[in-house]
Amino acid sequence: DTAVSQTPKYLVTQMGNDKSIKCEQNLGHDTMYWYKQDSKKFLKIMFSYNNKELIINETVPNRFSPKSPDKAHLNLHINSLELGDSAVYFCASSHEGGNQPQHFGDGTRLSIL
Amino acid sequence: GNSVTQMEGPVTLSEEAFLTINCTYTATGYPSLFWYVQYPGEGLQLLLKATKADDKGSNKGFEATYRKETTSFHLEKGSVQVSDSAVYFCALQLGTSYGKLTFGQGTILTVHP
Protein backbone atom coordinates (compact mmCIF):
# COMPACT_ATOMS: atom_id res chain seq x y z
CA ASP A 1 0.00 0.00 0.00
CA THR A 2 2.89 2.36 -0.84
CA ALA A 3 1.61 5.90 -1.36
CA VAL A 4 4.14 7.20 -3.91
CA SER A 5 6.23 4.55 -5.61
CA GLN A 6 9.09 5.03 -8.02
CA THR A 7 10.88 2.50 -10.18
CA PRO A 8 13.65 1.69 -10.45
CA LYS A 9 15.28 2.47 -7.11
CA TYR A 10 18.75 2.39 -8.67
CA LEU A 11 19.75 3.07 -12.26
CA VAL A 12 23.32 2.71 -13.47
CA THR A 13 23.95 3.43 -17.13
CA GLN A 14 26.41 4.77 -19.67
CA MET A 15 26.70 8.32 -20.90
CA GLY A 16 24.62 8.90 -24.03
CA ASN A 17 21.94 6.34 -23.20
CA ASP A 18 18.21 7.04 -22.86
CA LYS A 19 16.39 5.98 -19.68
CA SER A 20 13.02 6.34 -17.98
CA ILE A 21 11.89 6.55 -14.38
CA LYS A 22 8.31 5.73 -13.47
CA CYS A 23 6.18 7.15 -10.67
CA GLU A 24 2.76 6.18 -9.41
CA GLN A 25 0.67 7.51 -6.54
CA ASN A 26 -2.41 5.94 -4.99
CA LEU A 27 -3.39 8.89 -2.81
CA GLY A 28 -5.94 10.37 -5.22
CA HIS A 29 -3.85 13.53 -5.62
CA ASP A 30 -4.27 15.90 -8.56
CA THR A 31 -0.73 17.22 -8.72
CA MET A 32 2.57 15.42 -9.21
CA TYR A 33 6.15 16.66 -9.20
CA TRP A 34 9.71 15.69 -10.10
CA TYR A 35 12.60 16.97 -7.97
CA LYS A 36 16.34 16.51 -8.43
CA GLN A 37 18.64 16.11 -5.40
CA ASP A 38 22.33 16.63 -6.06
CA SER A 39 25.31 15.14 -4.24
CA LYS A 40 25.20 17.92 -1.63
CA LYS A 41 21.56 17.07 -0.83
CA PHE A 42 20.23 20.24 -2.49
CA LEU A 43 16.68 19.72 -3.82
CA LYS A 44 15.26 21.58 -6.77
CA ILE A 45 11.94 21.20 -8.53
CA MET A 46 12.06 20.15 -12.18
CA PHE A 47 8.45 19.70 -13.27
CA SER A 48 4.91 19.72 -11.95
CA TYR A 49 1.74 18.33 -13.51
CA ASN A 50 -1.82 19.03 -12.46
CA ASN A 51 -4.51 16.73 -13.86
CA LYS A 52 -2.13 15.59 -16.61
CA GLU A 53 -1.20 19.13 -17.64
CA LEU A 54 2.28 20.61 -17.28
CA ILE A 55 2.20 23.60 -14.93
CA ILE A 56 5.82 24.00 -13.84
CA ASN A 57 8.90 23.58 -16.02
CA GLU A 58 11.97 24.92 -14.24
CA THR A 59 14.44 25.58 -17.06
CA VAL A 60 15.29 21.92 -17.31
CA PRO A 61 17.22 20.82 -20.44
CA ASN A 62 14.86 19.50 -23.09
CA ARG A 63 16.63 16.14 -22.86
CA PHE A 64 14.27 15.64 -19.90
CA SER A 65 10.69 14.94 -20.92
CA PRO A 66 7.97 14.22 -18.38
CA LYS A 67 4.83 12.36 -19.38
CA SER A 68 1.62 12.00 -17.42
CA PRO A 69 -0.69 9.35 -18.94
CA ASP A 70 -3.21 9.89 -16.13
CA LYS A 71 -3.49 11.69 -12.78
CA ALA A 72 -1.88 8.83 -10.89
CA HIS A 73 1.26 8.55 -13.01
CA LEU A 74 4.13 10.87 -13.89
CA ASN A 75 7.08 9.36 -15.73
CA LEU A 76 10.40 11.00 -16.53
CA HIS A 77 12.30 10.18 -19.70
CA ILE A 78 15.88 11.35 -20.13
CA ASN A 79 17.65 11.33 -23.49
CA SER A 80 21.39 11.38 -24.13
CA LEU A 81 22.37 11.06 -20.49
CA GLU A 82 25.30 13.19 -19.29
CA LEU A 83 27.60 12.85 -16.29
CA GLY A 84 25.92 15.84 -14.66
CA ASP A 85 22.59 13.99 -14.63
CA SER A 86 23.88 11.77 -11.82
CA ALA A 87 21.62 12.53 -8.87
CA VAL A 88 18.68 11.21 -6.87
CA TYR A 89 15.35 11.96 -8.53
CA PHE A 90 12.26 12.21 -6.33
CA CYS A 91 8.66 12.03 -7.37
CA ALA A 92 6.05 13.69 -5.15
CA SER A 93 2.32 14.30 -5.17
CA SER A 94 -0.21 16.53 -3.42
CA HIS A 95 -3.76 17.74 -3.55
CA GLU A 96 -4.35 20.79 -5.68
CA GLY A 97 -4.10 24.22 -4.07
CA GLY A 98 -1.82 26.08 -1.70
CA ASN A 99 -0.48 24.83 1.63
CA GLN A 100 -0.89 21.21 0.65
CA PRO A 101 1.84 18.91 1.99
CA GLN A 102 3.67 16.89 -0.61
CA HIS A 103 4.19 13.15 -0.32
CA PHE A 104 7.49 11.89 -1.67
CA GLY A 105 8.64 8.60 -3.13
CA ASP A 106 11.84 6.97 -1.91
CA GLY A 107 13.84 8.28 -4.86
CA THR A 108 15.70 6.87 -7.85
CA ARG A 109 19.48 7.05 -7.65
CA LEU A 110 20.81 7.60 -11.17
CA SER A 111 24.52 7.00 -11.75
CA ILE A 112 26.11 7.78 -15.10
CA LEU A 113 29.34 5.96 -15.92
CA GLY B 1 13.37 35.80 -6.02
CA ASN B 2 12.32 33.35 -3.35
CA SER B 3 14.94 31.55 -1.32
CA VAL B 4 15.51 29.65 1.92
CA THR B 5 18.72 29.62 3.91
CA GLN B 6 19.45 27.02 6.59
CA MET B 7 22.28 26.85 9.07
CA GLU B 8 25.33 25.02 7.87
CA GLY B 9 25.69 21.45 8.95
CA PRO B 10 26.44 18.83 9.83
CA VAL B 11 25.14 19.10 13.37
CA THR B 12 26.27 16.47 15.86
CA LEU B 13 24.57 16.16 19.25
CA SER B 14 24.41 13.76 22.16
CA GLU B 15 21.12 12.10 23.01
CA GLU B 16 18.80 14.33 25.08
CA ALA B 17 20.53 17.52 23.94
CA PHE B 18 18.55 20.57 22.79
CA LEU B 19 18.31 21.07 19.03
CA THR B 20 17.97 24.26 17.03
CA ILE B 21 18.27 24.41 13.25
CA ASN B 22 18.01 27.95 11.94
CA CYS B 23 16.01 28.78 8.83
CA THR B 24 15.41 32.17 7.24
CA TYR B 25 13.60 32.97 4.04
CA THR B 26 13.12 35.59 1.37
CA ALA B 27 9.81 35.66 -0.46
CA THR B 28 7.89 37.99 -2.75
CA GLY B 29 4.61 37.28 -1.00
CA TYR B 30 3.29 35.56 2.10
CA PRO B 31 4.55 32.00 1.99
CA SER B 32 3.60 28.88 3.84
CA LEU B 33 6.58 27.35 5.61
CA PHE B 34 7.47 23.71 6.06
CA TRP B 35 10.03 21.44 7.65
CA TYR B 36 10.63 18.13 5.89
CA VAL B 37 12.80 15.29 7.19
CA GLN B 38 14.71 12.73 5.12
CA TYR B 39 15.83 9.54 6.84
CA PRO B 40 18.68 7.57 5.24
CA GLY B 41 17.64 5.90 2.00
CA GLU B 42 14.14 7.35 2.08
CA GLY B 43 12.16 10.17 0.54
CA LEU B 44 11.17 13.34 2.34
CA GLN B 45 8.39 13.35 4.93
CA LEU B 46 6.52 16.38 6.13
CA LEU B 47 7.51 17.11 9.73
CA LEU B 48 5.49 20.26 10.40
CA LYS B 49 4.13 23.35 8.73
CA ALA B 50 2.82 26.86 9.42
CA THR B 51 0.72 28.89 7.02
CA LYS B 52 0.68 32.38 8.50
CA ALA B 53 2.62 34.68 10.79
CA ASP B 54 2.87 33.61 14.47
CA ASP B 55 1.56 30.12 13.69
CA LYS B 56 3.44 27.36 15.49
CA GLY B 57 3.82 23.99 13.80
CA SER B 58 4.59 20.98 15.97
CA ASN B 59 5.02 17.24 15.56
CA LYS B 60 6.95 14.44 17.31
CA GLY B 61 8.39 16.90 19.84
CA PHE B 62 9.65 19.28 17.14
CA GLU B 63 8.39 22.86 16.98
CA ALA B 64 8.82 25.87 14.71
CA THR B 65 7.19 29.31 14.83
CA TYR B 66 6.55 31.44 11.74
CA ARG B 67 8.20 34.80 12.53
CA LYS B 68 7.33 37.34 9.88
CA GLU B 69 9.32 40.16 11.51
CA THR B 70 12.56 38.17 11.31
CA THR B 71 11.52 36.07 8.26
CA SER B 72 12.48 32.95 10.17
CA PHE B 73 11.15 29.47 10.91
CA HIS B 74 13.69 27.87 13.24
CA LEU B 75 13.26 24.20 14.14
CA GLU B 76 13.63 23.19 17.78
CA LYS B 77 13.40 20.05 19.88
CA GLY B 78 13.98 19.89 23.59
CA SER B 79 15.55 16.44 23.77
CA VAL B 80 16.80 14.65 20.67
CA GLN B 81 17.01 10.90 20.21
CA VAL B 82 19.31 8.75 18.09
CA SER B 83 16.32 8.05 15.86
CA ASP B 84 16.15 11.77 14.97
CA SER B 85 19.35 11.44 12.94
CA ALA B 86 18.37 12.55 9.45
CA VAL B 87 18.57 15.44 6.99
CA TYR B 88 16.20 18.32 7.76
CA PHE B 89 14.92 20.66 5.04
CA CYS B 90 13.21 23.99 5.50
CA ALA B 91 10.97 24.99 2.59
CA LEU B 92 8.57 27.69 1.50
CA GLN B 93 5.57 27.64 -0.80
CA LEU B 94 3.73 30.60 -2.23
CA GLY B 95 0.02 30.39 -2.93
CA THR B 96 0.60 31.41 -6.54
CA SER B 97 3.33 28.85 -7.21
CA TYR B 98 1.18 25.84 -8.16
CA GLY B 99 2.56 23.91 -5.22
CA LYS B 100 6.23 24.55 -5.98
CA LEU B 101 8.41 24.07 -2.89
CA THR B 102 11.61 26.09 -2.59
CA PHE B 103 14.00 24.22 -0.30
CA GLY B 104 16.93 25.24 1.84
CA GLN B 105 20.14 23.32 1.41
CA GLY B 106 19.36 20.78 4.13
CA THR B 107 21.02 20.22 7.50
CA ILE B 108 22.45 16.82 8.39
CA LEU B 109 21.78 15.93 12.03
CA THR B 110 23.61 13.08 13.76
CA VAL B 111 22.66 12.13 17.32
CA HIS B 112 25.02 9.93 19.32
CA PRO B 113 23.95 7.74 22.27
CA neighbor of A32 nearest in space, from A9, A5, A14: A5
The torsion angle over the Cα atoms of residues A78, B2, A96 and A43, rounded to 10 degrees, is 40
- Taking an 8 Å cut-off on Cβ atoms, the answer to whether B32 and A99 are in contact is yes
DSSP-derived 3-state class of residue A84: helix
Shortest distance, CA A17 to any CA of chain B (angstroms) = 26
pLDDT recorded at residue A1: 62
- Taking an 8 Å cut-off on Cβ atoms, the answer to whether B93 and A99 are in contact is yes
pLDDT tens digits, B65-93: 999 999 999 999 999 999 999 999 999 99
Residue A86 sits at the chain B interface (C-beta within 8 Å): no
- Taking an 8 Å cut-off on Cβ atoms, the answer to whether A105 and B51 are in contact is no
Residue A98 sits at the chain B interface (C-beta within 8 Å): yes
- Residues in chain B where the model's pLDDT stays below 50: none
User: What band does A67 get if pLDDT is binned at 50, 70 and 90?
Assistant: very high
- Cα gap A11→A111, rounded to integer Å: 6
Q: What's the Cα-to-Cα distance from A29 to each of A24, A37, A69, A96, rounded to whole Å?
A: 11, 23, 14, 7
